[in-house]
Amino acid sequence: MQSRPMSRIGTIFSPYPHPPEQLRDAARAAEDAGVEELWLWEDCFRSSAWAAAAAALAVTDHLRIGVGISPFPLRNVAASAMEVATIERMFPGRLLPGFGHGVQDWMRQVGAKAASPLTLMREQLPALRELLAGKRVSTEGRYVRLRDVALDWPPATAPLVYAAAEGPKTLAAAGEAADGVVLDSRHTVDEVAAAVQTVQAARHAAGREGRADIVAYVLTAFGPDARERATASLSDRPDAADRVLAGSVSEVAEGVARFQAAGVDDVVLLPTDDVDLAAFFSAVGQVAVAVPDAGGVA
């Protein structure tokens, strides 16, 4: 299995304001700006995460692509393993695959809702990680049933497998079974720190060595009116300003350092919907350079 990446800064290509045909140019712009990671996600019924990830990797040379996340219920775990293994073999070390139980209304809409999303996660994650490690898997669970299944083309080195988590039970389940955890945006540093503690404690209680790799999305805006733009979607929160990063490159870098100090390994800056992506990615690249001077981790 791949070693846990060092502390880093990433950004996002959102499937909401941006159609799939814009991804290739966005990925090139992110790489040209010096961004290390570009994260995608798979919401119903927008874009395929795995097709998008492969396309972005194909048009770049060293940019890492994260999927945070793809819903577990949409695919059999063997199909998910095949998707990840195929991409990992073509672009070794550059895919960060993430999964979650999905939005329950959407899962119900497609006839894939699990009665127990936590059980589904606890069964899928170990099976997926074992398949990617090249093991032959037989298991008979509530949702995952495999009989002597092994990938013909497993990755040379299994990638870290991430899980999205929000509430305490899901955070604990992800800490137990995943290699890393993706935390959604709109949280304060203190809330993120508490989530990190829950994840790492669950990992330790499960007898697993090392730390889970923690990825946290943070809604971010640059420029003189940045705070207003960043907090516009959080008008119902009196502490909205504490849930975003906004301002100059140095101000955002200082905020990134606070999330790193709370235990986040990968601070992923989420742009507002109205932003010019190339300009935003350029600023993210500058933040990555400025973070060590702001007290972050190089």
Residue type, 124: Q
Domains of the chain: 8-294 (3.20.20.30)
pLDDT tens-place string over residues 114-141: 999 999 999 999 999 999 999 999 999 9
Phi, psi of 207 (to 5 degrees): 80, 20
pLDDT tens-place string over residues 66-78: 999 999 999 999 9
pLDDT of residue 7: 80
pLDDT of residue 211: 96
Burial of 128 (0-12, 13-18, 19+ CB in 10 A): buried
Strands 95-100 and 162-164: parallel
Spatial contact of 240 and 188, defined as CB atoms under 8 Å apart: no
pLDDT of residue 292: 72
Closest CA to 289 of 259, 253, 265: 253
Distance CA 165, CA 65 (A): 19
CA atoms within 13 A on the CB side of 75: 19
pLDDT of residue 76: 97
Can you give the pLDDT of all 298 residues of the chain as single tens digits? 666 556 899 999 999 999 999 999 999 999 999 999 999 999 999 999 999 999 999 999 999 999 999 999 999 999 999 999 999 999 999 999 999 988 999 999 999 999 999 999 999 999 999 999 999 999 999 999 999 999 999 999 999 999 999 999 999 999 999 999 999 999 999 999 999 999 999 999 999 999 999 999 999 999 989 999 999 989 889 999 999 999 999 999 999 999 999 999 999 999 999 899 999 999 999 999 998 754 444 3
Mean pLDDT of all residues belonging to the chain: 94
pLDDT of residue 2: 66
